[in-house]
Amino acid sequence: MNIWPLTAEPPFTVGGVELTAIAERFGTPAYVLDEEHVRHRCREYRKALHPHRVAYAGKAFLCRAMVRWVREEDLWLDVCSAGELALARSAGFPPERILLHGNGKTPEDLAAALDYGVGRIVVDSSTEVTRLAALADDLRHPQKVLVRVTPAVDPHVHRAIATGVEDQKFGLSLASGAAAEAVRRVLGQPSLTLAGLHCHIGSQIGLTDGYETAARRLVAFMAELGGLPELNLGGGHAVAYRPGERGLDVQTFADRVPYAVASECAARGIPRPELTVEPGRAIVAAAGVTLYRVLGVKHGVRTFVVVDGGMSDNPRPALYGSRYAVALAGRRGAADSRPVTVVGRHCEAGDVIAADVPLPADVRPGDLLAVPCTGAYHHSMASNYNQVTRPPVVAVRGGRAWPLVRRETPEDLIRRDVG
């Protein structure tokens, strides 16, 4: 599976634009996003899963342009805060194609969703059912909700991204009866309509087995309720971050998981629900490349290549031990390569971008480095650690580059400090 954007000629151009030209115009660090790649993946998912519903998981990456691309490609949109909803609303995304998620939605989140008229709200606790019902009491029509169920499926991924197992914060347990109690509460609220069930078993899942198991368990629960119109199986589809790695094949998923739903429904004697999946990373991860400028090279037990970004623009290695590839982008280096560890500028020993990756032996200060597969959970998780400003997001397509999100400035940081 390719780790570079669809239009890339690695490691020098993306979308027909020289990466050196982007670095010179927009500075570094900078996120580069291939619009054509994003649209291609949206279409690939829609085609493979037709006639089922595909909702883009906005938490992976969201800005107004991304909202427009998803809308134009006829996907739904999954948001998990009033802030993400505000972006969607400002870009005119149809409210009836929005789902609101989150294990701890604030009253402000729920009120914003109701005010905009979102299509579905995924409830994550019995308390939330009561709170939402009270807020929805003045609506002309009941609010459609899905109950998020924990199906006790272990996807065998990093603990921090395993969300379908017991003893974690998401969802309502099937085994304990918490899911059934939440369903009873929803059914008892005139201002709410139970549209179906939802689950999300984790992230970076490369095999379909866990999805099939979760689907069968949720259909069995649906049968106890006499059947429901909708079943949402979440996302979490794996992507390749380094050469030789494999992601989840969308066509295999489309062949096997809907079949598991259909066969279980037939066995239980209930109608097939409308199926929804929520890819995020799988849509946008490989569309992104992050550019860094080398600040220095240190030789010792290991060779450290220090760059002008780090954990403030990519916290995933520090959080999950994530591994990345790195390429010299601005010139052709020496023929021989050596293993180096690319590290960031922040005051943390764990500020590592990529450990033990091959780079040309003559890598030096001023060089431009490109890190592929950085479209998901980079911009969205970026911080101001050490009061470092966040990078811009630059879109490319057809030989043109333009900013989607401008670079943050020190003035932006000071403007928020009102003490």
Spot the catalytic one: 80, 265, 347, 373: 347
Q: State how far the alpha carbon of 215 is from the alpha carbons of 24, 147, 262, 325, in Å.
A: 49, 14, 10, 34
**Which helix (H) or strand (E) segment is 289 a member of?**
strand 288-299
- For residues 355 and 304, what is the distance between their CA atoms, to the nearest angstrom? 9
**What is the secondary structure of 218-257 as a DSSP string?**
HHHHHHHTT--SEEE----B----STT-----HHHHHHHH
What is the distance in angstroms between the CA of the first residue and the CA of the last residue of the chain?
50
For residues 155-186, one letter each, b for 16 or more C-beta atoms within 10 angstroms of the residue's C-beta and e for the rest, the string is bebeeeebbbbeeeebbbbbeeebbbebbebb
Instruction: Tell me if 284 sits within 8 A of 62, measured CB to CB.
Output: no
* H-helix or E-strand spanning residue 135: helix 126-135
Mark whether 347 is an active-site residue: yes
The token duo for 136 is 């929805």
- What is the Cα–Cα distance from 382 to 313, expressed in whole angstroms? 5
Alpha-carbon gap, residue 273 to 199, rounded angstroms: 14
Longest dimension (CA), the chain: 70
Would you please indicate which residues are annotated as catalytic (active-site) residues? 347
